[in-house]
Structure 1
Amino acid sequence: MQVFGPLYDRALRWASHPRAPTYLTVLSFFEAIIFPVMPEVMLAPMCVAQPKRGWWFATLSLAGSMVGAMIGYALGHFAFEAVKPLLATMGMLPSIEAGIATVQAKMAESPWAVFWFLVLGGFMPIPMKVFTWASGIVGVPLLPYFLSMLVGRAKRVFLLAAAIRFGGARAAEALRRWIEPLGWIATVLVAALVAWLVWRAKFA
């Protein structure tokens, strides 16, 4: 069943829309708070369509993500109990609670242990909102939190832009060829990681 290939082709068409940079920024903002789709899904085809503007697109995505990261942190810190039923209805609660347990364990070591955990978490195929909400709920100090979000997200979007910018047509062709298996692999990894985090939170 072809799922990610057609989605990629559609995203490539969206990437040529005059308002695509605005859509990317808004998507990055909401992904850090509640939306399940990662901004790389739109960033990649935008960089393919206009590789010379890839750095600018990555900067817009990073800016949207950072504003969203601060909103997500505030919501986790001040509104978690109020929105728990909504999160449960959306199926987000187990992953967030597992993230809370993990961040709490790192906080017990030191705030900067959380920093490195969140930076490394930027390489994982996990929606950003899991980390933003969990950090706010646990009360991770703002400086290491902000820096970790900045480094973690920046390395993802700028590495993607660089790969397409310097890889040129070959990178674009390879991305289209492998988007289907990579999409399914990422989906399986996310499901396995969430299951492991839930198991760890309950039985570790």
Structure 2
Amino acid sequence: MHDTITGLWALFVSAFISATIAPGASEAVLAFMVTQGDYPNWQLLTVATLANTLGAMTTWWLGWMLAKKIPVATQLSEKKQRALRTVKQKGVWILLFSWLPVVGDGFCFAGGWLGLPLLPAFVAILVGKCARYAVVTWLFN
């Protein structure tokens, strides 16, 4: 039982960190755990998806909080300004692609900065993250 919980926590931490500004390797951790066969795939998919979504929502929240402190977008880096423009054009649907390397974190940050509605943002991020992890699980099963 202890090893089961430890392994799932390791996946949770990896997936959470991978969705924040820190680099992570949650896909590799998930793929390894799927190939080991020690956990049901649905359990691995659920833990990775929820943790990665919570990490992305943390980035969304940071954008929302920073917008209150620094309301002028021109004070942001060019990368963040680009993400703001893209999210402003595409709306909450762009958050389906929050799993993409490099730009995904920017989309989440921009979504928070722009005050995209919390529940639709959460759902879009969740669906995108789940789809990505479902593909990884399927490929390594």
Which residue number in structure 2 is paired with residue 28 of structure 1? 15
**Distance of 1:103 and 1:45 partners within structure 2:** 34
**Distance of 2:27 and 2:126 partners within structure 1:** 16
Which residue number in structure 2 is paired with residue 37 of structure 1? 24
Shift of 1:18: 7.3
Bigger Rg over Cα = 1
- On the 8 A contact 1:32/1:127 being kept in 2, the answer is no
- On the 8 A contact 2:49/2:130 being kept in 1, the answer is yes
Which residue number in structure 2 is paired with residue 104 of structure 1? 88
- On the 8 A contact 1:122/1:156 being kept in 2, the answer is no
SS at match of 1:35: coil
Q: 2:81 is matched by which residue type in structure 1?
A: E
Which residue number in structure 2 is paired with residue 68 of structure 1? 55
Describe the shift of the 1:154–1:58 C-alpha distance in structure 2 as closer, same or farther (beyond 3 A): same
- Give per-residue Cα distances to partners, 1:105-156, cap 9 Å, x unaligned: 22xxxxxxx233222x256444642222111111111122111101100101
SS at match of 1:139: coil
**Distance of 2:12 and 2:87 partners within structure 1:** 27
Of 102, 121, 124, which residue of structure 2 is paired with 1:148? Answer: 124
Which residue number in structure 2 is paired with residue 95 of structure 1? 79
Of 46, 50, 65, which residue of structure 2 is paired with 1:59? Answer: 46
Describe the shift of the 1:50–1:97 C-alpha distance in structure 2 as closer, same or farther (beyond 3 A): farther
Describe the shift of the 1:38–1:128 C-alpha distance in structure 2 as closer, same or farther (beyond 3 A): farther
Q: TM-score, normalised by structure 2?
A: 0.77
Return 5+ residue gaps in structure 1 as ranges: 1-15, 84-92, 107-113, 166-204
Q: Give identity over the alignment, percent.
A: 27
Which residue number in structure 2 is paired with residue 195 of structure 1? none
Shift of 1:47: 1.1
Aligned length: 133
**Distance of 2:81 and 2:134 partners within structure 1:** 30
Which residue number in structure 2 is paired with residue 136 of structure 1? 112
